[in-house]
Amino acid sequence: MNQSTKQKTRKEIATLWRYGLGSTLSYLINLAIVWVMTDILGCHYLLSSLAGYTSIVVTSYIFSVTWIFTERKVASRRKEFVAFTAITIFAMGMNLISMWFFTTGLGWHYIISNITTNFLATLWGYIPKKIFLFSEKKRAHYEVEDVLPSLDNPDELPIPFIYEDEVEESSN
């Protein structure tokens, strides 16, 4: 294996580890929401699962663009977020179907079903995100503040990402 292939392999393994850790953190937030809504507030487990999964969309997007993936394929952050959300909604649909199947169909406890289905949803989400959104095209510079609206002015949209080639052009 040549040096370039080794570097790409190491980079991909590092990305997978960050994705796994980011997904785990997003999942723990989801699990807390599901548990509180179902056991404390008395909501139906599918409604709780939907609310919890919504938190995964937000937290996993923030982790993805600020920490997990360093390459971007889509220059427009709005288009990227829409595509990211569409991929995540597909995974969420698979999650809800699996939650129903494991909990109602097989009689598993909803927490065990939730753990199982979120593990599967992580796998269903990684490959299309990597292929369609976060593969090599442009290297982006971004911070958490670039993803979240300003706390001083909630109506203000986040500033666009700044790409290396744009920085070079503006400094000339």
Q: Which tops the pLDDT comparison, 92 or 67?
A: 67
For residue 99, the model assigns a pLDDT of 87
For residue 138, the model assigns a pLDDT of 52
**Nearest CA among 166, 161, 170, 159 for reference residue 74:** 161
Question: What is the residue whose two structure tokens read 């404390």?
Answer: 40
Question: What is the residue whose two structure tokens read 């920085």?
Answer: 167
Judged by phi (left if over 0) then psi (alpha if -120 to 50, else beta), residue 122 lies in alpha
Mean confidence (pLDDT) of the chain? 77
Distance CA(170)–CA(83), nearest Å, equals 29
- The model carries a pTM of 0.61
Contacts of 44 (CB under 8 A, 6+ apart): 38
Q: Is 59 a domain residue?
A: yes
pLDDT tens-digit series, residues 35-87: 999 999 999 988 998 898 888 888 988 888 888 887 778 777 888 888 888 88
Domain containing 64: what range? 3-143
135: helix, coil or strand? coil
Q: Is 165 a domain residue?
A: no
Percent of all residues in the chain with a pLDDT value above 70, rounded to a whole number:
77
Q: Count Cβ atoms below 10 Å from residue 138 Cβ, excluding itself.
A: 14
Question: What is the residue whose two structure tokens read 């199947």?
Answer: 101
Selection from 1-10, 56-65, 72-81, 141-150 with the highest mean pLDDT: 56-65
User: How many structural domains is the chain composed of?
Assistant: 1
13-17, 122-126, 145-149: range with lowest mean pLDDT: 145-149
Q: Is 156 a domain residue?
A: no
- pLDDT for 131 beyond 50: yes
Q: Which pair of tokens denotes residue 144?
A: 């958490």
Cβ proximity of 83 and 133 under 8 Å? yes
- pLDDT for 105 beyond 90: yes
For residue 150, the model assigns a pLDDT of 52
Q: Is 155 a domain residue?
A: no
Q: Is 43 a domain residue?
A: yes
